[in-house]
Structure 1
Amino acid sequence: MNSSSSRMSEASKAAGSMRARDMDRVRARTLLDAAYEEGQLGADEYHDRSDRAEAAATIGVLRGLVGDLQTPDGSAGWSEPPRPNPANRIGRYPDRIRARDEDRALTCRALDTALADGQLSAEEHRTRTELTAAATTLGDLAGLTEDLQKPAAAPIDPRSRTRPGTLWLAGAVVVVTVAAAVAGFRLTHRPAPPAPVAAPVGQVVHPLVFETPDLTTAAGFEKFRGDYQAKFGDTTVDRLLLYPENASVDRTSVAQPNRVAGFDYWGGFMTSSKPTSRTADDPIFDLATVNSSALGEWIGRAVPMLKVDGGTVSHISMEYDSITEVPTIDIFVRNEFNESGFLQITPAGDPIRTVPFGD
């Protein structure tokens, strides 16, 4: 097998090992229902495949259950979620680097999201969360989310921005040469000293302080929405995750509707992943439709409703559910013991479902 075929095989294997969400299982079972109605499957095989789809843990299993079917009339067919970028991509710290509490917190948030959308069972979530608390390196953490559809991103290595080797050396020589030339010019062309200017009396200069509110509040969401529109010129996203201090957003380019790229937000936006493929006509979530007042009310009610003792809102997700064809907002609550629950609403503030801790 040549290197190209080997890479394709590895990519297919990685995509197949991704954890399946509830919506992926629903999509597969919907296709099986339609295929049975058309006579593609007999009754026994239909029931067997349907039961296996309901219990499927990975995308690969679901693919095997529907991969030999014709696309039923009136159905969009089987489409897999995009494979996430490798955890150890260019610009990220290597696995051996020690993990911070912040890195463990990001991993826990990824696990919470996976629990909420059905990628992990409660027991798997509990086990992985405990392993996260004990993890010492970034490699340990990466292994806990690498099979998820939204793995936790490794922190950026600032050292990767320095180019080693001859290019760096050549650049250094040029810089030193230019600096020496400038210094020589200044020595031989000294300008006349400027006339002294009296300093203003009694004038105090105060530093400007810009406060970014907690992004898991209504005020924080409005701040993000305003910054997002100012940056990109619109308010559409494929998916948004809001944490207290930062946010992660998947955005489709207006010029290329079949491409989606990731961005991190820390008061400003920076690219977190290269563009990947998407279905061009998939619906997207419009932040302009979110009723921030209603969102704030649900955030305030989330902790008592979800029965998480001592819990706080850990993160909020916003995306378009392609199965139910409804844009949804999920509010997650979590405490120091990794107990969690979530509630789901529409952008207008209408309730969809509530999953308290212990249910």
Structure 2
Amino acid sequence: MRARDMDRVRARTLLDAAYEEGQLGADEYHDRSDRAGTAKTIGQLRGLVADLQAPAGVAAWSEPPAPNPRHRLGRYPHHIRARDEDRDLACRALDAALADGQLSSEEHQTLTALTAEAKTLGDLAGLTDDLQQPAPAPIDPRQRIRPRGAWFAAALIVVAVLAAVGGFQLTHHSAPPTPTAAPAAKAVQPLVIDTPDLTTAAGFDKFRTLYRTKFGDTVVDELTLFSDYASVQRTWRDQPNRVVDYTFRGGFALGGAVTTRDRTKPFFDLAAVNVAALGDLLTRAPALTKVEGGAVSHLGMEIDSSDDVPMIRIFVGNKFNESGFLEATPAGQLVRAYPFDN
């Protein structure tokens, strides 16, 4: 279920209080607080506060009610065709989710475009199932109007109390309170979070594991790996004629582009990549491309458009803008090298 801005604020408030009580050290606090600020789901926020005691004076973590996708579909099953009215309702839900921080502008743009292409109620449900629905604003009960006599009696009592307090202050003087020193602030150390280099064999292996966890498979249309982020294209749910962009920076986020895809195009399966052989190629790439002082800048994985076979390309560069690249199979067999030509 998607997290709203108010959910992130609640989680960070708990973390602030837990830090003040000593439940978290400085590094843990900053790590969790940063992750809470960028969390996409309620589950991610739950994981950041689940092991905390409820700090004094702060409400314990509670989750919003889970969405009910079946209720949203009404009495019709998923395969029933969607109307324009149904698409409009889905767009309104996406607009509300954008307004309260459940979606970024890029995600909203992508999902709105997919809503326009949705054919069935099931397609629409898949776009909004993880959204929290805005609750109606509570209506404050009207105050009961007191009789005029009751108001007059209450006013007399207030006047009498104020007069008594004023007289006491005129005849009694208390010593000013002794100032106390403010508690010393806790030293906050800067946090450095290590991220795997995705242009290494270990980095790719980690990415592949996270990708499988996120999407339930290992197929892509195209994948480009840089040292600290990745760009990936894959089909959207059960629509093989649509391809969607994702970016990866420790987690996956929808990009802003939705494009048409050739249904007959084969997929690149990341599971077919031999990690050990890939690591060997990455190590030898600077020498094979004859780039002096070079290092791997990025690598790409896709189906080669000329003969529809899976291809890995490893790009090498140096500070002089000299570059070359290798082409290899997922098994790690070198197909050809394109060395720097000076």
Report the TM-score when normalising by structure 2.
0.44
Q: TM-score, normalised by structure 1?
A: 0.42
